[in-house]
Amino acid sequence: MARSTRKVSAIVWLRRCIQTLCLLLFFYLFLQTAYHPINRTGGPVALFFELDPLVLAATWLAGAPVPLTLLFSLGTLGVSIFFGRWFCGWVCPLGTLHQMMTQVRGGTTASRLNRAVYSPRQRWKYLVLIGLLAGTLTGLNLIGWVDPFSLLYRSLATAIFPAFNLGSHALFAWLYESDPGLGSMRVTRVSEPVYEVLRRYLLVEGRPQYYWGILIGLVFGGILVLNLWRHRFWCRYICPLGALLGLAGKNPLLRLKKDQEACNDCRLCVAVCPAGANPDGPSDRSDAWKPAECFFCWNCESVCPKQAISFEFAVPSREHS
C-alpha cells in the first residue's frame, strides 16, 4: 500500500514540476521580449501563442492568413484528443497561477468540497467560446480579450511587471537616498550589489508605464481572487481555450476508473479536484466522471486513501451506457 501511494504521488510531483517549469518559461520568454543588440529579441518570445489552438481558430475564422507558426497549436489540439485537458493541468501558466491561488485557501475537506464540487455552470465556458467564435466569424474578433495567454501576457506587460519594476526601482532609490544603517554598517552595502544583479537580469531601466494598466491589473487580480471562492474559477467557468480543449478531449483514451467497492465515499477526491470533474462519480450516465472537465492532474488518485481511483487506457464501457 505504501509503495503504490508513493508511486502515485510521484506523478503529482512531476506534474507540479512541469507546471512550474512552464510558468517559469512563460516568465522567461516574457523577460526576453525586449531589445537585444542589434534589433532582435532574446528567443521565441511568442511560443505560448504558437501552441494556443484558440489563437489559430480566431485567426482562421476571422478570415486572416494564418502565420505558419500558429500551426504548432494543432499539436496541442491533437494531444488533447488523446489526453483531454492535460494542457490545462500540466502546461497552462495561467492555470498554474490559478492553481497556486486556489491552494492559498485551505480549510477542512467539507469547506473545500463546496469550492471544488462540479457545478452545471461550468457549461458557461462553452457558451463563451461559441459566442466569441460566432462574433469572429461575423467580423468582431474579441477572442483576444478572453484568451488565457493574451490575458496573462497583457496583464504582465501592462500592469504586473511595470508595477514590480517601478516599485523595485523606487525601493532601491529610497535606500540609496535615506541610507539607513548603524554607524559603518549601512544597508546599501548589501542592497547596492543586489540592485546591480536585479538590474542586469530582471529590471528594466526604461521604466515602462501604460495607460489602462491599472484597470488591466485590477481585472487580473480580480480573476485570481475568484479562485478563493471556487477552485480554478477561470478555468471552469470562463476559459474559452479550456472549452475548446474540452470539446476536443471529451472522449479521451486515458480514462478515470473507479473501484466502486473500495470507495468509502470520503469525497477527498472531490475536495482536491481543481477542475470540478466529479472524480467520485459512480460511472452512471448522469453522475459520471466528466472527461471534458478533467485536467488529468492526478490529485484524486494521489489522495484517495483506498486507492479506489486509477487512470488507464480504456473506452467508455458498453455495459455502463
Partner 1 sequence: MTDLSRRVFLKQVALAGAGLQAGLLSPGLASASTAPKMSIAKYRTSPAESEGVAEEAARLTRQVIKDLGGMSRFVSKGDVVWVKPNIAWDRTPEQAGNTNPDVVATVIRMCYEAGAKQVMVGDNPCNAGERTYPNSRIQPAGEKAGARVVQLDKRKFKKMALNGKALKDWEMYTDMMEVDTFINVPIAKHHGLAGATLGMKNLMGVCGGSRNRFHQDLTNVLPDLAAFVKPKLIILDGIRVLPVNGPRGGNLDDVKRKDTMVAGVDQVAIDAFGATLLGMEPKKIAHIVEAANRGLGTMDYTSLSPAESLV
Partner 2 sequence: MKKWSDNVMWRWLLSFFRPGKGPRINLGRRNVLTAGALGVGAACLCRVHPQASGRVFNPALIRPPGAVDEQEFLSRCIRCGECMKVCPTNAIQPAGLEAGIKGMWTPVLNMNVGYCEFDCTLCGQVCPTDAIRELPLEEKQKIKIGQSFVDKNRCLPYASARPCIVCEEHCPTPTKAIWVEEIEVTNASGQKVLVQQPHVDPELCVGCGICQNKCPIKDQSGIYVTSVGETRNSENQMLL
> Which part of the chain contacts partner 2 (CB under 8 A), choosing from 58-66, 96-104, 110-118, 175-183?
58-66
> Which part of the chain contacts partner 1 (CB under 8 A), choosing from 126-134, 165-173, 214-222, 246-254?
165-173
- 67 CB neighbour count, 10 Å cutoff: 13
Cα(210)–Cα(200) distance, rounded to whole angstroms?
A: 23
Contact with partner 1 (CB under 8 A) among 107, 111, 137, 179: 179
Our CB check for partner 1 shows the closer of 175 and 269 to be: 175
In the DSSP assignment, the letter for residue 158 is I
Interactions with partner 2, residue window 166-205 (CB under 8 A): none
- 292 CB neighbour count, 10 Å cutoff: 21
Q: Judged by CB under 8 A, does residue 211 bind partner 2? A: yes
Q: Judged by CB under 8 A, does residue 38 bind partner 1? A: yes
> Which part of the chain contacts partner 2 (CB under 8 A), choosing from 98-106, 178-186, 231-239, 246-254?
246-254
Residue 257 pairs in a beta bridge with 310
186 binds, among partner 2, partner 1, none (CB under 5 to 8 A by kind): partner 1
Residue 40 pairs in a beta bridge with 36
Q: Which of 80, 124, 114 is nearest to 295 (CA)?
A: 80
Spatial contact of 254 and 311, defined as CB atoms under 8 Å apart: yes
Cα(158)–Cα(209) distance, rounded to whole angstroms?
A: 7
**What separation in angstroms does the CA of 30 have from each of 45, 202, 204?**
7, 11, 12
Residue 310 pairs in a beta bridge with 257
Name the strand (E) or helix (H) holding 110.
helix 109-116
Helix (H, G, I), strand (E, B) or coil at 262: coil
Helix (H, G, I), strand (E, B) or coil at 92: coil
Q: Judged by CB under 8 A, does residue 213 bind partner 2? A: yes
Helix (H, G, I), strand (E, B) or coil at 311: strand
Q: Judged by CB under 8 A, does residue 118 bind partner 2? A: no
203 phi and psi, to 5 degrees? -85, 160
By CB under 8 A, the count of residues binding partner 1 is 13
Spatial contact of 66 and 60, defined as CB atoms under 8 Å apart: yes
169 binds, among partner 2, partner 1, none (CB under 5 to 8 A by kind): partner 1
240 binds, among partner 2, partner 1, none (CB under 5 to 8 A by kind): none
- The residue written with cell numbers 516599485 in the block is 167
Q: Judged by CB under 8 A, does residue 321 bind partner 2? A: yes
The least CB distance from residue 47 to partner 2, in Å, is 9
What does the per-residue mask of binding to partner 2 show for 261-300, with x meaning CB under 8 A?
A: ---------------------------x-xxx--------
205 binds, among partner 1, partner 2, none (CB under 5 to 8 A by kind): partner 1
Contact with partner 2 (CB under 8 A) among 10, 134, 225, 262: 134
Q: Judged by CB under 8 A, does residue 37 bind partner 1? A: yes
Up-side HSE of residue 192: CA atoms within 13 Å toward CB?
8
The least CB distance from residue 238 to partner 1, in Å, is 39
Our CB check for partner 1 shows the closer of 123 and 169 to be: 169
Q: Judged by CB under 8 A, does residue 242 bind partner 2? A: no
Our CB check for partner 2 shows the closer of 88 and 132 to be: 132
Q: Which three cell numbers stand for residue 102?
A: 486556489
In the DSSP assignment, the letter for residue 318 is G
Binding site for partner 1 (CB under 8 A): 35, 37-38, 169, 172-173, 176-177, 179, 186, 188, 205-206
